[in-house]
Structure 1
Amino acid sequence: MSHPRALLWKTGRPLLRLYWRLRRPLTAGVRGMVFDGEGRVLLIRHTYIPGWYLPGGGVERGETMLTSLRRELDEEAGVIVTGEARLAGLYANFREFKSDHVALYVVAHGSYEMVPRRSPEIAESGFFSPGSLPEATSASTRARIAEVMEGRVPVELW
């Protein structure tokens, strides 16, 4: 059974996207690549879209990218950033909006604490070996993990 807030998000998201397209021609988002002590990466699965993703979301008015990252990691996964979050790349995500940009940060083990959270928009979360990601992990998520793990220069498009 779906949580009422998750159902509201599923139905309200298309309206919010239309509003953002009309009122906010340039949008910004953040994603966090959080690693545990075994080198596994944190992924989340939302209640409103299929697949596994890096945690993150939109930058709100008046927030810096880092403030947004801290808020999103806390809300979605109970990750409280206590140390450095290193900027790994800036990307354009034109699939979402015509002028959407995403900042990807890496948070290493020891630079955060975990606090159990229950969010109506998150179906599940977990740490996965970069070589054994869930089958439904998005292509962009896989590409970002490979870039970071292999030390490659980030591509421009998310």
Structure 2
Amino acid sequence: MRVRAVLLRAGSPFLQLWWRIRKPTTFGVKALLRRPDGRFLVVRHSYTDTRRWALPGGGYNPARETPAQAAAREVHEELGLLVPPESFTSLATVVTTLQGKHDTLTTLTASVSDDALTLSPEIAEARWVKDLRELGDAPLSKWLLAALIK
């Protein structure tokens, strides 16, 4: 499993360069997972900006799945959590060129009762927190901050 994380980390700069040159149209989701006690999940990815706390998520093909289905799939793949697509509600959809691609990004939220995580190689660390101050002065994702304001 660690080999996959190393490959992701090594390939990430080339993928980002490809996006800047090719400027593809992509679709992505971010998932804000909340617990009944007020905690929410933050992750650090293993392949890009490994210090930055962010939301789990990833890309999807809108011809094959909805944003809620994609969020459920990504949460299961990255964290081992089974969250039904109908549990997700949309917070916002934005179009961004932040990484050089034309990305339609939907942020969704869901309440979860299970907080036992099984991390994929894509995730370096995951934490349930009540307050961002628990993360110290580590950088925070723009999408994480925007989701918490909604």
- Number of equivalenced pairs: 145
The aligned amino acid for 1:75 is: E
**Partners in 2 of 1:71 and 1:133 — Cα distance?**
28
Q: Describe the superposition over 1:78-99 as per-residue Cα deviations: whole angstroms up to 9, x where unpaired.
A: 2211352000101223211341
Q: 1:79 aligns with which of 78, 81, 88?
A: 81
**Partners in 2 of 1:24 and 1:63 — Cα distance?**
22
**Partners in 2 of 1:142 and 1:120 — Cα distance?**
21
Please report how far the alpha carbon of residue 122 of structure 1 lies from its aligned counterpart in structure 2 after TM superposition: 1.0
Unaligned runs of 5+ residues in structure 2 are none
Residue 31 of structure 1: aligned partner: 30
Residue 100 of structure 1: aligned partner: 103
Please report how far the alpha carbon of residue 124 of structure 1 lies from its aligned counterpart in structure 2 after TM superposition: 1.2
TM-score by length of 1: 0.77
The structure showing larger relative contact order (alpha-carbon pairs under 8 Å, at least 6 residues apart) is 2
Q: Describe the superposition over 1:95-143 as per-residue Cα deviations: whole angstroms up to 9, x where unpaired.
A: 1134112101010235xx4554231121111111135341324151452
**Partners in 2 of 1:80 and 1:47 — Cα distance?**
22
Query: Is the contact between residue 31 and residue 105 of structure 1 (CA under 8 Å) also seen in structure 2?
Result: yes
Matches within 5 A, 1:10-89: 10-20=9-19, 25-48=24-47, 49=49, 50-60=51-61, 62-82=64-84, 83-89=86-92
Q: Describe the superposition over 1:38-97 as per-residue Cα deviations: whole angstroms up to 9, x where unpaired.
A: 111101111122211011011146332222111111111222113520001012232113
Which of the two has greater helix per residue?
2
Unaligned runs of 5+ residues in structure 1 are 149-158
**Partners in 2 of 1:118 and 1:101 — Cα distance?**
26
Residue 9 of structure 1: aligned partner: 8
The range that moved more, 60-69 or 38-47, is 60-69
TM-score by length of 2: 0.81
